[in-house]
C-alpha cells in the first residue's frame, strides 16, 4: 500500500473520530479494496505469485489495524480526559454554568448542556425565592406586635415569637400552653377549632401575672390540622374594653345628669300651671328655680360639647403663639368686674411678656375652670393666687386657694367625668362635674399634665407646665 493511501486512511480516521459512524468504515473498506485491486493488477503485470501478494496484503492489513488501534487509543484518551474535566466542572456547576465548546467530544452535547444550565438557573432562582419567603415569614412571625404561638396536637408550644416570649418567658417552649397562659377556656377554644377544623375567636381574660383581656384567635384550619399544629394569636383589647366601659358609664352619667334638671323643670312648670298660677310669690320663687335649673342644664350641655370636641382633637398638638400676659390680665379683669371691687384673684407674674405654643381659647378655659373650682370650694376670704414663673424652657404655672382642702383619697379621682367630692354641695353651686376633666384633656393636648396637691384646712394647689416659645 502506498503512502498516499495510508495518509488518506489516517485523515479519514481522524475525521471519523470527530463524528464516528458507518461512513469511516466504508471509506477504509473502499481504500483497502482499492489497494487489493491495485496490488493484484501490479502483481499480474510483474508476474508476482499469488502467495506473495497475499503476504503483502496481510502485512498492510496489520499496519492498518495498528494504525486504527493507535487512533482509537488517542480517541479513548481524549474521551476520558474530557470526562475528567466534565466531572470537575460538574462539582462547580452550582456556581458556574457548564460550557461544551472547550471539549473534544462534549461539544456535541451542547443542547443537553443548555438544558442543564437552564434547569440550574431555574433551580437557583427557586432556591433564592424560597429563601426570601422563609426570611420574610421568620421576620414577620418574630416581629409581629401581638403574642403568637404554634402548638402541637397535645397543646405543647412548638414555637413562639418575641412578644409571646416577653409574656410567658423563654423557657415556655415545649411546655403546655394552658400551663404557661392562665386563660380560662383557652383549651376549650383550641379543642373546638380542632374539632370543627376552622378558625375560632373569643374574648378571654388572662388572670396572671397581670389581669389582661385578650381577643384570642385559633387557626383550626385544615392546613395546620394536617400537620396537627395550631396557630394562636393573642390581641390585647384591655384598653378598648375600658374605653367601651367608660363610654357606657359616660352615657349613663349624662343621662342621669340631664334627667335631674329636666325632671325638676317639668315639676316646677306643672306647679306654676296649677296652684302657683295665681300666687305671685310661688310663681316668682319657682321661676327663679326654673332659671337656675335651665342655666345648670345649659352649662352641662356646653361642658359636654367642650369635652367631646377636646377628646376628638386631643392628639393634635396646637401650633398658635399665645401671649400669657394678655390672656391672664384679661381673665383677671373679668373676675374683677364680676365680683365688683372684691379682690378674688391675685396675679403674680413677670412684667416681661411671656409667650407659649398653644390654643388661646383652650388655655383660657383651663384657667377659668380651675379658678371657678377654687372659688366654689373655698371658704377662705383670702384671694386665689395665680403664679407664673418662667424656668429655662418651661413656664411653671400654679393656682392656689386657701379653702378646706381635699382628702388625699379623692385627689386621683378629681379629673374623672362627673366626679364630685360633695355631690349635694356641687349641684347647689351649679357644678357639672366636668370642669377638671376638660382641663385634663386640654393639657394633654398641650403636652402637659395637671398636678394637684392639697391639705385639709390649708387649701389646694393646681399646677402645670407650658413650653416657652
Question: What is the structure's pLDDT at 24?
Answer: 46
Question: What is the structure's pLDDT at 34?
Answer: 52
Which residue is associated with the grid cell 461539544? 107
Greater confidence (375 vs 226) lies with: 375
pLDDT at 91 over 70: no
pLDDT tens for 297-329 read: 777 788 788 888 887 887 888 888 999 999 999
pLDDT at 147 over 50: yes
Alpha-carbon 79 to chain mean position: 61
Peptide bond connecting 209 to the previous residue in cis, omega within 30 degrees of 0: yes
As given in the structure block, the three cell numbers for residue 466 are: 407650658
- CATH tag for 316-469 (out of 3.30.565.10, 3.40.50.970, 3.40.50.150, 3.40.50.2300): 3.30.565.10
Average the pLDDT over 198-223 and give the result: 83
Question: What is the structure's pLDDT at 226?
Answer: 53
Average the pLDDT over 79-83 and give the result: 73
CB-based contacts of 121, cutoff 8 Å, min separation 6: 97
Q: What angle do CA 376, 446, 389 make, to 5 degrees?
A: 70
Average the pLDDT over 118-141 and give the result: 72
Average the pLDDT over 224-229 and give the result: 61
CB-based contacts of 296, cutoff 8 Å, min separation 6: 261, 427, 430, 432
Average the pLDDT over 78-106 and give the result: 66
Q: Is 45 helix (H, G, I), strand (E, B) or coil?
A: helix
pLDDT band at 144 (very low <50, low <70, confident <90, very high): confident
pLDDT at 39 over 70: no
pLDDT tens for 100-118 read: 556 655 566 566 666 766 7
pLDDT tens for 373-387 read: 888 777 667 788 899
pLDDT band at 40 (very low <50, low <70, confident <90, very high): very low
What distance in Å separates the CA atoms of residue 313 and residue 355, rounded to the nearest whole number?
Answer: 22
DSSP state of 417: T
Question: What is the structure's pLDDT at 216?
Answer: 92
- CATH tag for 144-236 (out of 3.40.50.2020, 3.40.50.2300, 3.30.450.20, 3.40.50.150): 3.30.450.20
Greater confidence (42 vs 334) lies with: 334
pTM, 2 dp: 0.49
Greater confidence (353 vs 138) lies with: 353
Question: What is the structure's pLDDT at 464?
Answer: 94
Question: What is the structure's pLDDT at 19?
Answer: 46
What distance in Å separates the CA atoms of residue 362 and residue 359, rounded to the nearest whole number?
Answer: 5
> Which top CATH class is 238-312?
mainly alpha
What distance in Å separates the CA atoms of residue 144 and residue 426, rounded to the nearest whole number?
Answer: 49
What distance in Å separates the CA atoms of residue 229 and residue 227, rounded to the nearest whole number?
Answer: 5
> DSSP of 74-137, one letter per residue?
HHHHHHHHHHHHHHHHHHTTTTS---STT-SSGGGGHHHHHHHHHHHHHHHHHHHHHHHHHHHH
Count the residues in the chain. Answer: 469
pLDDT tens for 383-437 read: 888 999 998 889 999 999 888 888 888 888 888 877 766 654 455 555 677 888 8
Average pLDDT, the chain: 76
pLDDT band at 285 (very low <50, low <70, confident <90, very high): confident
CB-based contacts of 179, cutoff 8 Å, min separation 6: none
Question: What is the structure's pLDDT at 295?
Answer: 79
For the chain, give percent helix, strand, coil, nearest 5.
60, 15, 25
As given in the structure block, the three cell numbers for residue 53 are: 501478494
Q: Which of 227-231, 345-349, 366-370 has the lowest mean pLDDT?
A: 227-231
Average the pLDDT over 365-376 and give the result: 87
CB-based contacts of 386, cutoff 8 Å, min separation 6: 328, 332, 345, 346, 347, 348, 349, 367, 371, 397, 398, 399
Number of H helices, E strands in the chain: 14, 12
Q: Is 464 helix (H, G, I), strand (E, B) or coil?
A: strand
Q: Which of 69-73, 78-82, 310-314, 361-365 has the lowest mean pLDDT?
A: 78-82
pLDDT band at 41 (very low <50, low <70, confident <90, very high): very low
Question: What is the structure's pLDDT at 466?
Answer: 92
Question: What is the structure's pLDDT at 308?
Answer: 80
- The long-range contacts involving 83-86, CB below 8 angstroms and separated by at least 24 positions, are none
pLDDT tens for 324-351 read: 999 999 888 888 776 655 667 888 888 8
Amino acid at each position: 500500500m502506498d503512502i498516499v493511501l495510508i495518509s488518506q486512511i489516517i485523515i479519514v480516521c481522524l475525521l471519523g473520530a470527530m463524528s464516528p459512524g458507518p461512513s469511516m468504515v466504508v471509506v477504509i473498506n473502499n481504500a483497502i479494496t482499492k489497494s487489493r485491486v491495485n496490488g493484484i493488477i501490479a502483481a499480474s503485470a510483474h508476474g508476482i505469485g499469488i502467495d506473495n501478494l497475499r503476504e503483502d496484503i496481510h502485512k498492510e492489513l496489520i499496519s492498518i489495524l495498528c494504525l486504527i488501534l493507535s487512533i482509537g487509543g488517542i480517541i479513548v484518551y481524549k474521551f476520558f480526559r474530557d470526562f475528567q474535566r466534565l466531572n470537575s466542572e460538574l462539582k462547580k456547576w452550582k456556581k458556574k454554568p457548564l460550557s461544551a465548546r472547550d471539549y473534544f467530544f462534549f461539544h456535541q452535547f451542547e443542547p443537553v448542556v443548555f438544558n442543564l444550565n437552564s434547569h440550574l438557573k431555574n433551580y437557583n432562582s427557586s432556591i433564592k425565592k424560597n429563601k426570601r419567603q422563609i426570611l420574610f415569614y421568620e421576620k414577620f412571625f418574630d416581629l409581629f406586635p401581638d403574642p403568637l404561638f404554634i402548638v402541637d396536637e397535645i397543646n405543647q408550644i412548638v414555637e413562639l415569637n418575641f412578644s409571646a416570649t416577653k409574656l410567658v418567658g423563654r423557657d415556655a417552649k415545649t411546655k403546655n400552653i394552658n400551663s404557661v397562659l392562665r386563660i380560662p377556656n383557652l383549651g376549650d377554644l383550641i379543642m373546638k377549632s380542632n374539632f370543627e377544623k376552622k378558625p375560632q375567636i373569643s374574648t378571654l381574660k388572662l388572670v396572671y401575672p397581670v389581669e389582661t383581656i385578650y381577643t384570642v384567635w385559633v387557626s383550626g384550619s385544615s392546613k395546620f390540622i394536617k400537620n396537627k399544629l395550631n396557630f394562636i394569636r393573642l390581641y390585647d383589647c384591655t384598653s378598648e374594653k375600658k374605653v367601651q366601659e367608660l363610654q357606657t358609664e359616660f352615657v349613663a352619667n349624662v343621662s342621669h345628669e340631664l334627667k335631674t334638671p329636666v325632671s325638676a323643670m317639668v315639676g316646677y312648670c306643672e306647679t306654676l300651671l296649677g296652684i302657683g298660677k295665681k300666687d305671685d310669690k310661688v310663681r316668682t320663687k319657682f321661676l327663679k328655680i326654673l332659671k337656675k335649673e335651665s342655666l345648670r342644664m345649659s352649662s352641662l350641655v356646653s361642658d359636654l360639647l367642650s369635652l367631646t370636641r377636646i377628646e376628638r382633637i386631643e392628639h393634635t398638638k396646637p401650633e398658635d403663639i399665645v401671649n400669657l400676659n394678655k390672656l391672664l390680665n384679661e381673665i383677671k379683669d373679668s373676675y374683677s368686674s364680676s365680683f365688683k371691687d372684691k379682690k378674688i384673684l391675685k396675679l403674680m407674674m413677670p412684667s416681661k411678656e411671656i409667650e407659649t405654643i398653644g390654643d388661646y381659647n383652650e388655655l383660657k378655659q383651663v384657667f377659668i375652670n380651675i379658678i371657678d373650682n377654687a372659688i366654689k370650694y373655698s371658704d377662705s376670704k383670702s384671694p386665689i393666687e395665680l403664679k407664673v414663673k418662667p424656668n429655662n424652657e418651661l413656664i411653671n404655672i400654679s393656682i392656689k386657694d386657701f379653702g378646706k382642702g381635699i382628702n388625699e383619697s379623692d385627689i386621683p379621682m378629681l379629673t374623672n367625668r362627673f366626679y364630685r367630692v360633695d355631690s349635694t354641695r356641687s349641684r347647689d353651686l351649679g357644678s357639672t362635674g366636668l370642669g377638671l376633666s376638660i382641663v385634663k384633656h386640654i393639657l394633654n393636648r398641650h403636652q402637659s399634665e395637671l398636678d394637684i396637691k392639697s391639705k385639709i384646712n390649708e387649701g389646694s394647689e393646681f399646677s402645670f407646665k407650658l413650653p416657652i416659645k
